[in-house]
Structure 1
Amino acid sequence: MRGTRPLSSLSAVAVALLVAGCGGQAADHTAASGPAAQGFPVTLSNCGVQSTYQRPPQRAVSLNQHATEVMLSLGLERSMVGTGYLDDKILPEYQAAFDSVKVLSKEYPSFETLLAAEPDFVYGGFTSTFAEKEGRGRPAFTKAGINTHLNIEACPGGPVTMATIDEEIRTVAKIFGVPERAEQQVDKLHGTLDQVDGKLAGVAPVKVFVYDSGDKTAFTAGGKGIGNELIRRAGGVNLFADVDKPFGDVSFEQVAERAPEVVVIYDYGDQPVEDKKKFLLAHPALKDVPAIKNQRFAVLPLSSTVLGVRVPAAVESLARQIHPDRFR
């Protein structure tokens, strides 16, 4: 990740934007010209930050794959001046729209780079988007007159389910004044889930362990993220749903005790899936685990296991892998 440089190194336009925003206590853009748009102002509370939108953002920046794809699914590319930090290739149906948006950086841009794009809205997928230690804390954006939104998987008010995805899509659509687009997208996503539900009617759930990464301990999906719901909807039961957060570390001995029937590998980064499989197959603590003895693995890209528009397709993909007989 990139840090920030001293204020003296900022571009002239970035300094101007920062200075202009320093007088406000909240990012509401009341100084923008013209009357408020129909249905505005809109005031929303998101992960402890309250923001007021006098009109739909016109210079938005999205960071992290799932945030970017939520915006593109709502047809908001013309309101975007920048994006950054993909884990995978963009979904094919959004590629043309994505190509019309400037990529600010391969990973997280510095605060300086973000300010230079002159955004009026920054949408982040993970808490790391707004890392205080990197100079990108949400208060810094508020001080600069820039509204922010964090994907609500980072701060859910209750169980993270498909209803949480619906809420996220509807909230972003509300910010941009396009609520009807949210309903179209929600209907599309639930159509996929309904088809999977029909295929899996009456199926016996399979015991699943998610292996994200780790050699000393296993980094796995807990019960507070959409990954837990994804497994359930795909006809599985997450053996570490009792981990009280979206992701957490567990011992390989704990994995062995819970005896998963299938290991779901999250695919991302520099470690190939085949290397992860070899590591698990060779781990002495796992030699008697049914999933290891039977070499039952399923694979999902990480970008499909976080709260965004990919989840229903990921449910179908996982269901096909762990219950292939239901899809013949």
Structure 2
Amino acid sequence: MNLIRSMLVAVSGLSAGYAIADTTADTTGYPLTLDNCGKQISFPAAPNGTVTIGQSATEILYALGMGDQVLATSVWFTPVLPPFSELNASVERIADNDPSFESVVNKRPELVAVQYEWHVGATGSVGTREQFDDLGIATYIMPADCDTKDNTTGGDGMRTAAFSPDHVYKGIAELAEIFDMQPAGEALIESLETREADAVATAAQLDLPDDLSAVFWFSSPDTGVAPFVAGQLGAPGYMMKTLGIRNVIQSDEEWPTVDWETIARANPDVIVIAHMDRRRYPADDVAAKRAFLQSDPVTREMQAVQNGHIIEMDAHAMSATMRTIFGLETLADALSGMSFER
């Protein structure tokens, strides 16, 4: 099953989840107060108007049926999930990457929903939470980027414990509570949990070597320099551990840079490369990744390259988002078509 088909199947599963929503779910009692990434936030009522900084927050709000509340979006890696294409086309995209503080507040939102704390945090590239507070704008950061994660270390942060999909489900549940959309939140979580269990069951039936190893390559400032690869505790680490795969990168950093010589010495059985529309770096292009792996004198000798064990994965699935579950499916699916001889 290819990448696009995997995504379509996954999304159809989400859509099916709405039909089994529990209409007796609790409703939100306002004022609502939540602890969010080390900060207490309060809502006197459901927010009227939201700007999203991060694709994850955008797609979750769409999936909760709150698309009409999204005033503008920013920070995109891949196309929006197919069921939301028409909706998303009607929502202003104020930036493909980091928006300016002014462009966000000029939309006059009551809530800014954020995927990465480094965009809106103590040293936020867009702004601090205090700056938004001063204007009476609430901020909500997806828990998957701060639970079990220290974002004060610079770069993409350091995991203090392993990522779990529970952190994504927490974000879905809390956004649903903020907007008083609990039935939709419960249905979405149930659908994702089912897909997660099915992917694990699929992988359990595979005859994989006990010592199977892999590396996840997100991108690089250029193809010939040390790549950004997945540490052991982030979303790719969860995928590998869940399917019984050893990550050759042992760092607790979310996306450490590791030189190709070191990766080649580890000689992973599988290389997973990110597929994205973003073009911040030359190596964002999946074709450029493949061309480099097959032509560089160091990388072309790795057994994963020689055996054709290169898997393309939606870049957004490699982040701690609901698409991580789709990435788990992509990985299990791809491994089912590979042969590993020892």
- The two structures have a TM-score, normalised by structure 1, of 0.80
Cα deviation for residue 261 of structure 1 reads 0.4
Residue type of the alignment partner of 1:237 = R
For these two proteins, the number of residue pairs brought into alignment is 289
Structure 2 residue 304 is the aligned partner of structure 1 residue 291? yes
Cα deviation for residue 115 of structure 1 reads 1.6
Cα deviation for residue 234 of structure 1 reads 4.6
1:144 corresponding residue in structure 2: 135
1:168-187 pair list within 5 angstroms? 168-187=171-190
Segments of structure 1 that go 5 or more residues without pairing to the other structure are 1-36
Structure 2 residue 199 is the aligned partner of structure 1 residue 196? yes
Structure 1 residues 301, 256: CA separation in 2 closer, same or farther (over 3 Å shift)? Answer: same
1:115 corresponding residue in structure 2: 105
Structure 2 residue 272 is the aligned partner of structure 1 residue 264? yes
Which segment is superposed worse, 123-132 or 70-79? 123-132
Cα deviation for residue 137 of structure 1 reads 1.6
Cα deviation for residue 194 of structure 1 reads 2.1
Partner of 2:119, secondary structure, is helix
Structure 1 residues 218, 86: CA separation in 2 closer, same or farther (over 3 Å shift)? Answer: closer
Partner of 2:298, secondary structure, is helix
Structure 2 residue 238 is the aligned partner of structure 1 residue 248? no
Segments of structure 2 that go 5 or more residues without pairing to the other structure are 1-26, 149-160
2:219 corresponding residue in structure 1: 213
Q: Structure 2 CA distance, aligned partners of 1:263 and 1:38?
A: 45
Structure number, greater radius of gyration: 1
2:11 corresponding residue in structure 1: none
Cα deviation for residue 207 of structure 1 reads 0.9
Cα deviation for residue 134 of structure 1 reads 4.6
Query: Cα RMSD (Å) of the superposition?
Result: 2.3
Question: Identity across aligned pairs (percent)?
Answer: 23
Structure 2 residue 313 is the aligned partner of structure 1 residue 300? yes
Q: Structure 1 CA distance, aligned partners of 2:111 and 2:307?
A: 49
Paired residues of 2:273 and 2:313 also in contact (CA < 8 A): yes
Q: Structure 2 CA distance, aligned partners of 1:96 and 1:216?
A: 39
Q: Structure 1 CA distance, aligned partners of 2:120 and 2:52?
A: 12
Structure 1 residues 282, 200: CA separation in 2 closer, same or farther (over 3 Å shift)? Answer: same
1:226 corresponding residue in structure 2: 235
Q: Kindly provide the CA deviation profile for residues 75-116 of structure 1, in whole angstroms up to 9, marking residues without a partner as x.
A: 111222222232221111122332343333333332222222
Q: Structure 2 CA distance, aligned partners of 1:253 and 1:135?
A: 36
